[in-house]
Amino acid sequence: MAREKGAKGKESRLRLLHAAARQFAVHGFHTTKVSSIVGEAKLSQPAFYLYFESKEAVFEELVDMFRTSLQAVINDSQLPQQESGQHSILDQLCHTIQSMFEYFYSHPDLTRIGFYQSPDADEIKMELVQGIEKMLRMEQRNGNLSTDMSMELVAECLVGTIERIIFTQLLPGTVSAEQLAIHIVRLYVSGLTRKQSKV
């Protein structure tokens, strides 16, 4: 199976993958018919099975792509050099969130699939929570954050926020990734009370 080698084959596979992502994102797994996928990809149904084992298999492939990319984004964005100097509080977190938002924004279908449609969604979000929790803990250790809240709970809250914001603000294009990241971090850091925040 999947003996394809040449450029044409790879292109067809990609077309199918994109079409599948679109359909799954919009209609969900069950409502998406293989026939619509191949329809959008302008191929016949058997062609689908030339490149994928089953409808489930493509779905999983897409979910894995999302999952892997998301992890990569988190890891890669963690790099910004921690200089000795005064980077304002939580720059790191803000930067990571912005990077994630940028990824989500440029992969809306995968994001919808990975966050909404997949049975693994919970797991994926858990991983996200853990990543964020780690960052929060670090800041906490650095003395930048209050010690009387469970950072795990805060991370959960933040992930919930992120998740929702993606679909109501980011993907519709209402607000930019950067703005969104800034707003959210400021909110979480300083809260809603009058005294101005410094972020």
Partner DNA sequence: TATGAATGAGAGTTCATTCAT
Partner DNA sequence: CATGAATGAACTCTCATTCAT
160 near a second copy, rule: CB under 8 A: yes
Q: Please, which residue, 54 or 81, has the CB nearer to a second copy?
A: 54
Choose the contact partner of 8 out of DNA, a second copy, none; CB within 5 to 8 A by kind: DNA
By CB under 8 A, residue 157 contacts a second copy = yes
Alpha-carbon distance of 161 to 107, in angstroms, equals: 19
Residues 6+ apart with CB under 8 A from 58: 16, 17, 20, 37, 52
Q: Tell me how far apart the alpha carbons of residues 186 and 106 are, in angstroms, rounded to a whole number.
A: 24
Q: Which does 145 bind (CB under 5 to 8 A by kind): DNA, a second copy, none?
A: a second copy
Residue number, 47 or 182, with CB nearest to DNA:
47
Choices 35-43, 73-81, 94-102, 182-190 (CB under 7 A): range interacting with DNA: 35-43
Instruction: Report what 4 binds from DNA, a second copy, none; CB cut-off 5-8 Å by kind.
Output: DNA
Binder to DNA among 27, 28, 44, 141 (CB under 7 A)?
A: 44
Whole-number minimum distance, CB 109 to DNA, in Å? 18
Which residues inside 137-156 make contact with a second copy, applying CB under 8 A? Answer: 143-146, 148-150, 153-154, 156
Interface residue list for a second copy (CB under 8 A)? 28-31, 89, 122, 125, 136, 143-146, 148-150, 153-154, 156-165, 167-169, 175, 183-184, 186-197
Interface residue list for DNA (CB under 7 A)? 2-10, 12, 32-35, 42-50, 54-56
